Chain A
Amino acid sequence: MKILIADDEPVQRRVLESWLVKWGHEVVVAKDGAEAWSVLQADRPPLLAILDWMMPGMNGLQVCQELRKSPGRPYVYTLLLTSKNRKQDLVDGLEGGADDFLKKPFDSGELKARLETGMRILTLQADLVFASNHDALTGLLNRRAILETLHREFVRASREHSWVGVLVADLDHFKEINDTFGHLRGDAVLRRVAQIMQSNVRVYDSVGRYGGEEFLIVLPRCHLMIATERADQIRRAVNKQCSVEARAITLSLGVTADSGHSEMERVLHVADAALYRAKREGRNRVEFDTVAESAFNADIPQVRFDL
């Protein structure tokens, strides 16, 4: 994995680097705390950092403290290198946000073991983050994560003067499928539909499970007509590729698009109203609407989302 080494002392820095390279890691080297901090602020930062405690300027502990003050950034596991051995120093270090210590001059076996502990914790951390953002059944983004994605894309669209396509999809007669074939088959249908949706969008589009058999799809840089075409492509793909014992599975979709300037709740409301219309007009179809026109549309159902 990618590991940062921050140490002002060149001999130890070189020894550390050579061990890490030998063990197959990608190493980023910083000669002081300030350089380490800027490496950690960049895109795709190393998630494991070996920091010498005493460095001129910003020291290793200060780097830890700054890291812990940066919510929303990926978690960086920090291993503080120290020759300090008073109990109070260790307590200060841990309270400052260091995850572990390595005493200088270090032993390579101990370094390896401590790195493995760090990597284990980072893996657990990544698993937790994944689980908190994804739906366990389908592997799609969960409701909270897809709404966050939508919000992010709205902000981006308004900044870049572009559009976001919003699709709300709902499986037709899903309750019947569950009742007729059982919940296990119903779950398999949800998983299959999720796969079909994922394979019919671009890599930068996002698909989320919005409710029981309902999905929300966010298409960045996509105006209404393109979004509607995409919705119909998804509808046809599900129709063709998903069935239970010769019974075709169908999908209804409501589509809208926005420049990121409308209220997000309102945009979702419009897409939902279009979906409602698709259901009412016979299912297995796509309906669309613009946010502005729908302002005069009276048959909008009750808001069903809480953000």
Chain B
Amino acid sequence: MVQPTDHSAELHLNIVELVARVNNDQELLRELLQLFKEECPRLLRSLEDAVFKEEMKSVETAGHTLKGMLASLSATRAASAASRLEGVGRTGKHSQLQEALAALQSEVAALLPEVDAYLEGEKRGCADGFALGSRG
């Protein structure tokens, strides 16, 4: 079967999928992204803390929660990174902790500007042109 070209993997935030998930409710979408901006740093901090202390169970749970949140926002790449960290916590592979955390941090760092850009674009009322238009 021939699959249509999927550009979503290139994006950190798959807005097309996310808009569909909220049934094109722009107000809700804004609320979710704001919620993410507030919650993500807190979760990331508790994850960093757990990694620093090598508390594998906490790594697993915080990784799981962050994964869920990222997946809900269609931030697929960051969600996979969180999932990997969750797995490291579950299987107790101490040696992989730092690297998996660094990967997640870099994904989140790349994601946040996209979230901000979307919120900014929304504010200026040209959200339709952003991310959606260029993908045609």
CB pair A11 B36 closer than 8 Å: yes
CB pair A9 B65 closer than 8 Å: yes
Q: Which residue of A10, A11, A54, A108 is within 8 Å of B64 (Cβ)?
A: A54
Per the bound structure, the CA–CA distance linking A289 and B25 in Å amounts to 69
User: Interface with A: B47-55, B71-79, B98-106, which one?
Assistant: B71-79
Contacts of A52 in B (CB 8 A): 68
Per the bound structure, the CA–CA distance linking A15 and B23 in Å amounts to 10
Asked whether B84 is an interface residue with its Cβ less than 8 Å from the other chain, the reply is no
Sample 21 A-B pairs with CB under 8 A, ordered by A number.
A9-B68, A9-B72, A10-B35, A10-B69, A11-B69, A11-B72, A11-B73, A12-B68, A14-B31, A15-B21, A15-B28, A15-B32, A18-B22, A18-B28, A52-B68, A54-B61, A54-B65, A56-B61, A83-B68, A104-B72, A105-B71
Per the bound structure, the CA–CA distance linking A56 and B62 in Å amounts to 9
Q: Which residue of B23, B32, B61, B68 is within 8 Å of A14 (Cβ)?
A: B32
Main secondary structure of the interface of B (DSSP, over half): helix
* Closest B residue, CB atoms, query A15: B72
Per the bound structure, the CA–CA distance linking A292 and B53 in Å amounts to 75
CB pair A105 B28 closer than 8 Å: no
Contacts of B116 in A (CB 8 A): none
Contacts of B120 in A (CB 8 A): none
Asked whether B67 is an interface residue with its Cβ less than 8 Å from the other chain, the reply is yes
Which B residues fall within an 8 A CB radius of A? 21-23, 25, 28, 31-32, 35-36, 39, 61, 64-65, 67-69, 71-74, 83
Asked whether A202 is an interface residue with its Cβ less than 8 Å from the other chain, the reply is no
- Give the distance to chain B from A272, nearest Cβ to Cβ, in Å: 63
Asked whether A22 is an interface residue with its Cβ less than 8 Å from the other chain, the reply is yes
CB pair A105 B74 closer than 8 Å: yes
Residue interface bits A1-39, CB-to-B below 8 A is 1, else 0: 000000011111011001100100000000000000000
What number of A residues sit within 8 Å (CB to CB) of B?
17
CB pair A10 B39 closer than 8 Å: yes
- Give the distance to chain A from B47, nearest Cβ to Cβ, in Å: 14
7 closest Cβ contacts across the A-B interface?
A12-B72, A105-B71, A9-B68, A11-B72, A11-B69, A9-B69, A105-B72
Per the bound structure, the CA–CA distance linking A9 and B70 in Å amounts to 10
CB pair B71 A18 closer than 8 Å: no
- Give the distance to chain B from A116, nearest Cβ to Cβ, in Å: 17
- Give the distance to chain A from B29, nearest Cβ to Cβ, in Å: 10
Per the bound structure, the CA–CA distance linking A9 and B39 in Å amounts to 9
Contacts of B71 in A (CB 8 A): 83, 104-105
- Give the distance to chain B from A155, nearest Cβ to Cβ, in Å: 45
Contacts of A54 in B (CB 8 A): 61, 64-65
- Give the distance to chain B from A58, nearest Cβ to Cβ, in Å: 13
Contacts of A104 in B (CB 8 A): 68, 71-72
Contacts of A15 in B (CB 8 A): 21-22, 28, 32, 72
Instruction: Kindly list 15 other residue pairs between chains A and B, CB separation below 8 angstroms, not including A10-B39, A12-B72, A108-B23.
Output: A9-B69, A11-B32, A11-B72, A14-B32, A18-B22, A19-B23, A54-B61, A56-B61, A83-B68, A104-B68, A104-B71, A104-B72, A105-B68, A105-B71, A105-B74
- Give the distance to chain A from B89, nearest Cβ to Cβ, in Å: 12
- Give the distance to chain B from A111, nearest Cβ to Cβ, in Å: 11
Contacts of A10 in B (CB 8 A): 35, 39, 69
* Closest B residue, CB atoms, query A56: B61
Contacts of B74 in A (CB 8 A): 105
Contacts of A12 in B (CB 8 A): 68-69, 72
Per the bound structure, the CA–CA distance linking A8 and B74 in Å amounts to 18
